[in-house]
Amino acid sequence: MNRIWYRNTTWNEEIENSFFKKLGRVKDKSMRAQYLKLQAGSLAYTKTPALMDVAEKLLNKQLTEYSDVVLFVSSAYGLLGDIQGFKGIYNQAIDLYKKAIDFEATYPNYISPSFMDYAELAIKTKRTDLYDDVEKIFSEKRYDSASSFPFALYKKYSILSIISKYKKDMEKSKYYADLAEENAQKQETGLNNHQTLGLVTKREEILDEMVRK
C-alpha cells in the first residue's frame, strides 16, 4: 500500500522534497494548511525529538504563511503545545494551549481540544495560579459541545473536583467527583447510532489519585 504523502512518520531530504513538491501542486490554500498540520501531527506523535523539531517547523510555516486559514490555527497551537508537553516543557505547553483558547474566543466556531489539555496540564503540574482561569473556561458555552461525551465530562468534573478541594469547598468537590465517576462508569452514550462513542476506556490515574486525596 502506498504511503499517504502527508502522513509520513519518518523524515529525510528525499521525503521532505517529495512532500513540498506535492504540497505545491495543491491549489486550495486551506488544504495546503491542513496538509502541513496533518504531516506535523504524524511526526509529532512519534515523540522522537528530531521529528518533533520538524513538526514544529511545519506548524510554524502553517501559522506564518496560512494564518488567514482560521480553521486550523487553534489546532496548530494545540499541537505545538502537545510537542512541548512531550518534551517536558510544561509551562510553554500551557502557554500554547492558552494561545489556542484565546484564538477561539475570537473564532468560537473553530474549537480544538486545547481547552481540556490546558486544564488537565494545569492540574497535573499544580499550577494553582491558573485554577480560576480553568473554571472560567469550563463555564464558557462555546466548549459545551466539545465536552459532551463521557470521557470529556469525566476529565472536566475530575478537574473541577480537584480545584474545589484546593479551595476548601469539600461539598462541591464531592459533587464533582461523583459526576466524574458517573461518567467514567457509563456503558453507553445514549446516542442512537453511537452508543459507545466517547466512553471512558482508560482512566487518568493522576486525576483519579488527586480526586481521592
What is the pTM assigned to this prediction? 0.93
At residue 86's C-alpha, the angle toward residues 126 and 94, to 5°, is 45
Residue 117 clears pLDDT 80, i.e. is over it? yes
What pLDDT does 153 receive? 96
**Which of 127, 143, 159 is at the close of a domain?**
143
Q: For residues 99 and 68, state if they share a domain.
A: yes
What pLDDT does 201 receive? 92
Q: For residues 153 and 130, state if they share a domain.
A: no
Q: For residues 156 and 139, state if they share a domain.
A: no
Q: For residues 54 and 114, state if they share a domain.
A: yes
CA of residue 1 relative to chain centroid, distance = 30
CATH code for position 60: 1.25.40
**pLDDT tens column, 131-173:** 999 999 999 999 998 888 999 999 999 999 999 999 999 999 9
Domain interval for residue 47: 1-143
User: Which set of grid coordinates corresponds to residue 106?
Assistant: 475570537
- Cα separation, 183 vs 147, in Å, equals 12
**Which of 118, 143, 168 is at the close of a domain?**
143
Rounded to 10 degrees, what is the CA torsion of 189, 191, 196, 197?
-90
Q: For residues 43 and 59, state if they share a domain.
A: yes
Q: For residues 132 and 175, state if they share a domain.
A: no
Q: For residues 3 and 104, state if they share a domain.
A: yes
User: Which set of grid coordinates corresponds to residue 31?
Assistant: 488544504
What pLDDT does 48 receive? 98
- Cα separation, 183 vs 162, in Å, equals 16
Listed in sequence order, the residues at least 6 apart from 208 whose beta carbon sits closer than 8 Å to its beta carbon are 158
Distances in Å between the Cα of 116 and the Cα atoms of 4, 46, 68, 143, 209 are: 30, 22, 25, 9, 18
Q: For residues 98 and 165, state if they share a domain.
A: no
Residue 1 clears pLDDT 50, i.e. is over it? no
**pLDDT tens column, 40-70:** 999 999 999 999 999 999 999 999 999 999 9
Do residues 116 and 152 lie in contact, with contact meaning Cβ atoms separated by under 8 Å? yes
**Which of 85, 120, 143 is at the close of a domain?**
143
- Cα separation, 65 vs 117, in Å, equals 26
Listed in sequence order, the residues at least 6 apart from 203 whose beta carbon sits closer than 8 Å to its beta carbon are 154, 184
What pLDDT does 86 receive? 97
Do residues 161 and 180 lie in contact, with contact meaning Cβ atoms separated by under 8 Å? yes
Number of compact structural domains in the chain: 2
What pLDDT does 191 receive? 67
Helices (H), the chain: 13-25, 29-44, 49-65, 73-86, 90-106, 114-124, 131-139, 150-166, 170-184, 205-212
**pLDDT tens column, 3-51:** 799 999 999 999 999 999 999 999 999 999 999 999 999 999 999 999 9
